[in-house]
């Protein structure tokens, strides 16, 4: 007789049910030291100011006053039609200047479109720094000469460039650190993720500096991320995250100097988030009253980076009326020169449009160039 197969299993030995224990797991690095502090670092208004070099404090003050004036003058130039667009950093001068001055001459700065002031603080000619924003096709300066990459309009694309340059420098044995600047909105870009990931894997000598100024045009940070802070994102990549008061120029300079030194010594990248606020609109083409309350702006005006430093230096006897006047006069001289030079019409050759598109022009470009040349000649311009 055929035996029926039974679905009833014989009870197995008890041990057969126990899964083989997995290989021991533990985090690859301890996340605790990578976590940012619970509060942004502040130095102004604390006893720590006493440790700062008075010469540095005075220099920072002069740069802040000049930076504030530069923002006002560049914004005025947009109203006069002398500048196509200006993304102001009024209210963010401490972040721009404190960060830029943490670099050595041999280092590289990778700015976004908002970071003209960082470039100027690093020594770039104030007019050259505005070339792109004036609508020219080129960056206005030689990036290699100044070690300042072009002001970058596509969000966050400067970050992988910074990592690539820093990594390459390290492979070649060059002592170079790259400082990559980006806004809070830029942290939502894929380029931000890729840059931080590669930087940490390669331990590239790069510092990522996020200026969290509250908004990406009209989008507030709350709609941008659910992270506890932008600095916390660092932990996911395996690098330290640091939080700093972006309106405290001494704190910014200190945190950035520490991060740059760490990178230079082979310690790898750091992500720094500066808490600050954009006092002006996104650019002269934006109306900020449509998406934020006046009260919010006023609250931040009370935490103005220039006033914070001025009060501290005055209270400590490091700045007097004479010092304030000297800084204001130097800033006025810079603004007057900027006005004068920007009021001169640049001589542009429309044919330049075709010059640097490809090493060898395509048939289509040659045809378009010929058409433009003919039009210009018909207008009576001899070229
Ligand atoms: C890849 C890309 N997407 C969109 C834009 C349009 N855009 C220009 S500025 C901006 C907001 C950026 O905000 P944030 O990164 O916070 O920098 P902020 O302007 O505040 O300095 C956007 C979306 C762009 N320039 N590049």
Task: Convert the pLDDT of each residue in 48-73 to its tens digit.
Answer: 999 999 999 999 999 999 999 999 99
Ligand 1 atom nearest the C-alpha of 184 is 16
Per-residue 3-state assignment (H helix, E strand, C coil) for 15-45? HHHCCCCCCCCCCCCCCHHHCCCCCCECCCC
Count how many Cα atoms sit within 13 Å of the Cα of residue 155 in the half-sphere of its side chain: 13
pLDDT band at 156 (very low <50, low <70, confident <90, very high): very high
Distance 213 CA to ligand 1 centre (A): 12
Q: How far is the CA of 244 from the centre of ligand 1 (A)?
A: 22
Burial class of residue 107 in the structure, from the number of CB atoms within 10 Å of its CB (0-12 exposed, 13-18 middle, 19+ buried): buried
Measure 216 CA to ligand 1 centroid, in angstroms: 6
Ligand 1 pocket residues where CB is under 6 Å: 87, 114, 153-155, 183-186, 213, 215-217, 278, 282
> Which residues partner with 216 through β-bridges?
219
6 pLDDT above the threshold of 60: no
Q: Side-chain half-sphere of 204: how many Cα atoms within 13 Å?
A: 27
How many angstroms separate the Cα of 6 from the Cα of each of 3, 9, 10, 11, 12? 9, 8, 10, 13, 15
Q: Cα-flanking dihedrals φ and ψ of residue 290, to 5°?
A: -75, -15
pLDDT at 187 over 70: yes
Confidence grade of residue 1 (pLDDT, cut at 50, 70, 90): very low
Using CA atoms, how far apart are residues 298 and 295, in angstroms rounded to an integer? 5
Among protein residues, the one whose CA lies closest to atom 12 of ligand 1:
216
Facing residues of 179 across strands? 109, 207
Looking at the predicted structure, is the pLDDT value of residue 141 above 90?
yes
Long-range CB contacts for residues 348-354, cutoff 8 Å, separation at least 24: 348/136, 349/383, 350/376, 351/376, 351/383, 352/137, 353/137
d(C-alpha 330, C-alpha 307), whole Å: 18
Q: In what order do the strands lie in the sheet with 241-245?
A: 108-110, 178-183, 206-212, 270-275, 241-245
- Among 183, 266, 199, CA closest to 239: 199
Res. 225 pLDDT band, cuts 50 70 90: very high
Among residues 58, 291, 292, 324, the one annotated as catalytic is 291
**Collapsed DSSP state (helix, strand, coil) of residue 243:** strand
* pLDDT of residue 5 exceeding 70: no
* Model pLDDT, residue 10: 63
Q: Which of these is catalytic: 68, 82, 122, 278?
A: 278
Positive/negative CA dihedral, 112, 117, 122, 127: positive
User: Which residue's C-alpha comes closest to atom 20 of ligand 1?
Assistant: 216
Active site residue 278: yes
Annotation marks residue 291 as catalytic: yes
Strand partners, 110: 180
In the block, residue with structure tokens 């970071």: 115
Whole-angstrom Cα distance, residue 156 to residue 183? 8
Span 306-362, pLDDT tens digits: 999 999 999 999 999 999 999 999 999 999 999 999 999 888 888 988 988 899 999
Closest ligand 1 atom to residue 154 Cα is 26
Q: Say how far apart CA 258 and CA 102 lie, in whole Å.
A: 9
**Cα–ligand 1 centroid distance for 242 (angstroms):** 23
Nearest to 270 by CA among 256, 280, 281: 256
pLDDT digits (tens, 9 = 90+) for 235-277: 999 999 999 999 999 999 999 999 999 999 999 999 999 999 9
């Amino acid at each position: 007789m055929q035996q029926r197969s039974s679905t009833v299993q014989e009870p197995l030995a008890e041990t057969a049910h126990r899964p083989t224990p997995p290989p021991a797991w533990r985090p690859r690095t301890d996340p605790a030291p990578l976590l940012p502090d619970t509060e942004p670092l502040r130095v102004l208004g604390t006893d720590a100011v006493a440790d700062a070099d008075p010469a540095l404090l005075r220099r920072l003050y002069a740069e802040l006053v000049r930076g504030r004036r530069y923002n006002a003058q560049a914004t005025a130039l947009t109203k006069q039609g002398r500048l196509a667009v200006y993304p102001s950093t009024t209210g963010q001068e401490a972040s721009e200047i404190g960060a830029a001055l943490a670099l050595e001459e041999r280092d590289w700065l990778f700015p976004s479109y908002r970071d003209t002031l960082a470039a100027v603080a690093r020594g770039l000619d104030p007019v050259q720094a505005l070339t792109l924003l004036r609508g020219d096709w080129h960056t206005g300066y030689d990036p290699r000469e100044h070690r300042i990459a072009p002001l970058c309009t596509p969000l966050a694309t400067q970050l992988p460039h910074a990592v690539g340059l820093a990594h390459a420098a390290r492979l070649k044995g060059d002592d170079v650190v790259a400082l990559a600047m980006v806004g809070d909105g830029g942290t939502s870009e894929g380029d931000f993720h890729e840059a931080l990931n590669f930087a940490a894997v390669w331990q590239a000598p790069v510092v990522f500096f996020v200026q969290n100024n509250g908004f990406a045009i009209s989008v507030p940070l709350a709609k941008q991320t659910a992270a506890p802070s932008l600095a916390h994102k660092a932990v996911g990549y395996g690098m330290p995250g640091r939080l700093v008061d972006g309106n405290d120029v001494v704190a910014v300079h200190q945190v950035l100097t520490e991060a740059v030194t760490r990178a230079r010594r082979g310690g790898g990248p750091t992500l720094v988030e500066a808490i600050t606020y954009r006092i002006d609109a996104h650019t002269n083409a934006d109306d900020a009253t449509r998406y934020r309350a006046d009260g919010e702006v006023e609250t931040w005006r009370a935490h103005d980076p220039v006033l914070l430093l001025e009060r501290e230096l005055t209270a400590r006897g490091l700045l007097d009326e004479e010092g304030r006047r000297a800084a204001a006069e130097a800033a006025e001289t810079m603004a007057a020169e900027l006005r004068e030079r920007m009021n001169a019409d640049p001589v542009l050759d429309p044919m330049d449009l075709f010059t640097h598109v490809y090493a060898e022009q395509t048939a289509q470009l040659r045809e378009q160039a010929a058409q433009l040349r003919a039009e210009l000649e018909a207008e009576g311009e001899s070229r």
